[in-house]
Amino acid sequence: MAASMAKFLQKLGGGLGLVTRRYQSNNGVSNLWKLGKLNHVAIAVPDLEKAASMYRDVLGATVSETVPLPDHGVYTIFIELGNTKLELLHPLGDDSPIQGFLDKKPEGGMHHICIEVDNIEEAVKTVKENNIRPLGKKPRIGAHGKPVMFLHPKDCGGVLIELEEQ
């Protein structure tokens, strides 16, 4: 799995380091966009308040307020970790994709990773050209108020990847 993830990230632009716009990277990939840092790791949880309490009250993390995102069918809470974040996800309604995840895995677990890009449209174009299927026809506004696109886990080494424009 690590090898397929590394190969996928190379297709995206040379791994988690930055790729210079309009220039060849050291792996020969030429992009009109940059692949940036890991923004967050999302975790589906069956009990949002219990999970938030563990991070806040036991581990001492800074925990955001609960925010409903009806367009995505989720409630979210962000946990600040200094160099990145965790995103706690809980279903907002029975037709939520997170409800489907929890139906299969009632205890919850890692749902996706989010990687920053500087140009979501060009990033989506590149992944499509490399036979990586986006989940949706066009980017939508995500939890940070910025355009996002999810990539099919079957094309990404078994990992659901969210690209978020910065």
* Span 125-150, pLDDT tens digits: 999 999 999 999 999 999 999 999 99
* Span 41-69, pLDDT tens digits: 999 999 999 999 999 999 999 999 999 99
Name the band, by pLDDT with cuts 50, 70 and 90, for residue 94.
confident
Domain assignment present for 56: yes
Please give the model's pTM, rounded to 2 decimal places: 0.81
Domain assignment present for 74: yes
Mean per-residue pLDDT of the chain: 87
Is 36's pLDDT higher than 50? yes
Domain assignment present for 19: no
The tally of domains found in the chain comes to 1
Domain assignment present for 154: yes
Name the band, by pLDDT with cuts 50, 70 and 90, for residue 20.
very low
Check which CATH number belongs to the domain holding 83 and give it: 3.10.180.10
Q: Which two tokens stand for residue 48?
A: 């949002």
Domain that includes residue 151, residue range: 35-165
